[in-house]
Chain A
Amino acid sequence: DQQVKQNSPSLSVQEGRISILNCDYTNSMFDYFLWYKKYPAEGPTFLISISSIKDKNEDGRFTVFLNKSAKHLSLHIVPSQPGDSAVYFCAASASEFGNEKLTFGTGTRLTIIP
């Protein structure tokens, strides 16, 4: 049972344009969401997070939007740069279960075309 879903395995975006990565979840107990970026042969690198009490969080070129009623979150990268090419994972946790237990999506491979 995949509680966190990233339905697009891959995405290609022109350099300078906006990249939008999507994530859906099924467990309404999740109250904290994170995005990680992963390059080959490296561990995931934390990008940005959002608590369920907010609907938007911004950090430089990265913005995460949360729609609790739809159980949907998205990561916007503006403008997209070649160095953004990587696999992006969405993750969720629940205070009830322990925030140390992250449930991950299967990832979206983002390719930025120069």
Chain B
Amino acid sequence: KAGVTQTPRYLIKTRGQQVTLSCSPISGHRSVSWYQQTPGQGLQFLFEYFSETQRNKGNFPGRFSGRQFSNSRSEMNVSTLELGDSALYLCASMLAGAVTQYFGPGTRLTVL
């Protein structure tokens, strides 16, 4: 079975721009969660989608948003980028009713 895939793997943007990251979960997994990893803060939960609905949300500003499509693929959008948004963005998928999440390789976002 193919794992979680994320595109693009690397991205460079400038302050004020917006960015969209994509995640394809493991086949059959309907839950997709997004995390931000920074050196100082570790992995922080952004939000989770299940069957195209946001079920859970972390403590991030409204500039961070997401959506999920009917095929369970998910996108994350960050608007008005700030220097502090530079991070590794990780996507994880999970089977319905399970408790173990499986992560993709991440998208490394650099904001200049």
A residues neighboring B (CB under 8 Å)? 32, 34, 36, 41-46, 49, 89, 91, 93, 97-107
Residues of A within 8 Å of B100, CB to CB, are 34, 46, 49
Q: Are A100 and B50 in contact (CB under 8 A)?
A: yes
Q: Would you give the 0/1 interface string for B92-104, flagging 1 where the beta carbon is closer than 8 Å to chain A? A: 1010001111111
How large, as a class, is the contact surface on chain B? 20 to 34
Q: Is B42 an interface residue (CB 8 A)?
A: yes
7 contacts between A and B (CB under 8 A): A41-B105, A43-B90, A43-B105, A46-B103, A101-B33, A102-B35, A102-B45
Q: Which of A32, A42, A91, A100 has the most CB of B within 10 A?
A: A100
Q: Is B48 an interface residue (CB 8 A)?
A: yes
CA A103 to CA B44, docked complex, whole Å: 7
Residues of B within 8 Å of A89, CB to CB, are 42-43
Interface of B is mostly: strand
A42/B94 contact (C-beta < 8 A), A99-B99, A101-B45, A105-B42 known:
no
Residues of B within 8 Å of A43, CB to CB, are 4, 6, 90, 92, 103-106
The A/B interface has a contact count, at CB < 8 Å, of 64
CB-based nearest B residue for A6? B42
> Which residue in B58, B90, B103 is a CB contact (below 8 Å) of A101?
B58
CA A98 to CA B31, docked complex, whole Å: 11
Residues of A within 8 Å of B99, CB to CB, are 32, 34, 49, 93, 99
Q: Is B14 an interface residue (CB 8 A)?
A: no
Q: Are B56 and A97 in contact (CB under 8 A)?
A: yes
Q: Is B55 an interface residue (CB 8 A)?
A: yes
CA A106 to CA B42, docked complex, whole Å: 5
Residues of A within 8 Å of B90, CB to CB, are 43-44
CA A52 to CA B35, docked complex, whole Å: 24
CA A107 to CA B42, docked complex, whole Å: 7
Residues of B within 8 Å of A91, CB to CB, are 43
Q: Scan residues 28-73 of chain B and give those whose CB is less than 8 A from a CB of chain A.
A: 31, 33, 35, 41-45, 48, 50, 55-56, 58
CA A104 to CA B92, docked complex, whole Å: 14
